[in-house]
Amino acid sequence: MRILWSLVALGLLVGSGCAGRRKDGPEPAASKPIITPGKATGRVAAVNGAGRFVVVTFPLGTLPTPDRRLHAFRDGLKVAELRPTEWQRDFNLVADIVTGDCQVGDDVREE
């Protein structure tokens, strides 16, 4: 009799382990990462202060068009507004400095 009750208790323990809550609905949004495509970010490679232009290097295939306005950022703060020219080669482009001041290493992106 004691063995029978032990087997019943063991069966109840094993069965209760598999009887957890089922997730019928979708997972909460917080558990899935949200991926949004970013705009191309370049970096100032050279500055000509007298001519008021910069050479900006972008990742391959992400050069902005000449009609776009670009902004230079240093430590998260906007320091200059740039206007791309027609001079583009490979992954480099020349941009005129419209306002502000640039330094080598500043981040450049579209706004």
Q: Give me the DSSP letters along the chain.
A: -HHHHHHHHHHHHHHHHT------SPPPGGGS----PPPPEEEEEEEETTTTEEEEE--TT-PPPTTS-EEEEETTEEEEEEEEEEEEETTEEEEEEEEE---TT-EEEE-
How confident is the model at residue 46, as a pLDDT? 95
The 10s digit of each residue's pLDDT in 13-67 is 666 655 555 556 565 555 666 655 556 689 999 999 899 999 999 887 777 777 7
How confident is the model at residue 35, as a pLDDT? 56
Cα 102 from Cα 73, distance rounded (Å): 9
Give the percent of the chain with pLDDT over 70: 63
Which of the two residues, 9 and 100, has the higher pLDDT score?
100
How confident is the model at residue 73, as a pLDDT? 93
Q: What is the pTM of this model?
A: 0.61
Chain mean pLDDT for the chain? 79
- Cβ partners under 8 Å of residue 61, min gap 6: 91
